[in-house]
């Protein structure tokens, strides 16, 4: 399946419309004349409202789903790194490996074979081939990879491809055991998380969000919140309770707290009780939170 089709499947919303027709039939009367008898019109049943998950149940479900999505990308990148080992990180075989890796998820932007000096040697798909030859040695995650020769995952940053994304890297070792570079998987966290949440919460309702340890909102039911930084968002500037919770989430892998804030789609204030847990890979963590809102006193 082509990459474009996968993206459309991952991001699109499928809308199904049903039309019901009505008509009249003529039945003979005792005198032989025709009498119009309306047929029965079937009406569509009202769909049940989504079941609301209690915060504890929602947090457990979405945390498990988000971590599973990350783990799948991690396994795929590790497999690609192993397959790149016998290659010279270029050529047809390297491109085949990277092309398959780039199809791992609609959240993926590209897959790259990176030299041990952090030069992007081979990039798939072809639309990002212009990045080949770029020196990414100054990127924080590449410096960690070079020092440890172990897998790393970055935060969200401005990439040489011209997008804001997260980079997952696995070291590549030649058959001799020598460090030969890395396999890179560049992906969009918001797309990955949106897919995971839609699958997990299908037919159910819960207020959840995901934020990284820099305060960047990676996922929220309110799309306008995604991509904003909690600590610099003007909406939160006059809410010390919320900022205190955000500061705790920066450093505490799990916890609970509460703050007062405007209800979704309303100017009325509610008391929000928040519980959070962590997901992540290779030392980089995201905070997954579930919220219970009650009328403010």
What is the CATH T-level fold of the domain 71-187, as seen in this structure? Answer: Beta-Lactamase (3.30.450)
Domain residue extents for the chain: 51-66+190-295, 71-187
Reading the block at residue 261, the tokens are 């804030």
- Distance CA(184)–CA(77), nearest Å, equals 7
pLDDT of residue 293: 85
Task: Judge whether 169 and 179 are in contact, CB under 8 Å.
Answer: no
- Same fold for the pair 51-66+190-295 and 71-187: yes
Radius of gyration of the chain measured on its C-alpha atoms: 26
pLDDT of residue 29: 37
- Distance CA(101)–CA(128), nearest Å, equals 14
The rounded average pLDDT for each run of 10 residues, N- to C-terminus, in the chain (297 residues) is 42 34 37 38 46 84 97 98 97 98 98 98 97 98 98 98 97 97 98 96 90 97 93 92 96 96 75 96 98 84
pLDDT of residue 50: 54
What is the CATH T-level fold of the domain 51-66+190-295, as seen in this structure? Answer: Beta-Lactamase (3.30.450)
pLDDT of residue 5: 41
Reading the block at residue 79, the tokens are 């497999």
């Amino acid at each position: 399946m082509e990459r474009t089709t996968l993206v459309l499947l991952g991001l699109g919303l499928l809308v199904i419309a049903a039309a019901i027709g009505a008509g009249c039939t003529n039945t003979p009367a005792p005198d032989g004349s025709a009498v119009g008898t309306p047929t029965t019109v079937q009406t569509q049943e009202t769909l049940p409202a989504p079941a609301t998950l209690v915060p504890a149940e929602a947090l457990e479900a979405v945390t498990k789903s988000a971590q599973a999505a990350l783990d799948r990308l991690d396994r795929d990148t590790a497999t690609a790194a192993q397959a790149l080992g016998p290659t010279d990180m270029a050529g047809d075989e390297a491109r085949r490996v990277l092309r398959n890796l780039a199809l791992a998820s609609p959240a993926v932007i590209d897959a790259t074979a990176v030299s041990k000096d952090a030069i992007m040697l081979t990039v798939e798909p072809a639309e990002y081939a212009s990045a080949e030859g770029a020196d990414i040695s100054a990127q924080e995650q590449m410096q960690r990879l070079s020092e440890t020769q172990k897998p790393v995952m970055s935060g969200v940053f401005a990439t040489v491809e011209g997008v804001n994304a997260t980079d997952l890297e696995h070291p590549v070792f030649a058959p001799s055991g020598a460090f030969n570079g890395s396999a890179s998987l560049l992906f969009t966290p918001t797309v990955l998380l949106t897919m995971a949440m839609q699958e997990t919460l299908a037919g159910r309702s819960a207020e959840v969000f995901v934020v990284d340890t820099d305060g960047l909102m990676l996922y929220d039911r309110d799309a306008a919140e995604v991509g904003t930084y909690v600590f610099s968002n003007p909406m939160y500037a006059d809410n010390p309770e919320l900022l205190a919770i955000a500061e705790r989430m920066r450093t505490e892998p799990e916890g609970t707290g509460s703050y007062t804030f405007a209800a979704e789609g309303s100017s009325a204030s509610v008391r929000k009780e928040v519980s959070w847990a962590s997901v992540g890979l290779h030392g980089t963590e995201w905070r997954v939170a579930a919220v219970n809102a009650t009328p403010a006193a």
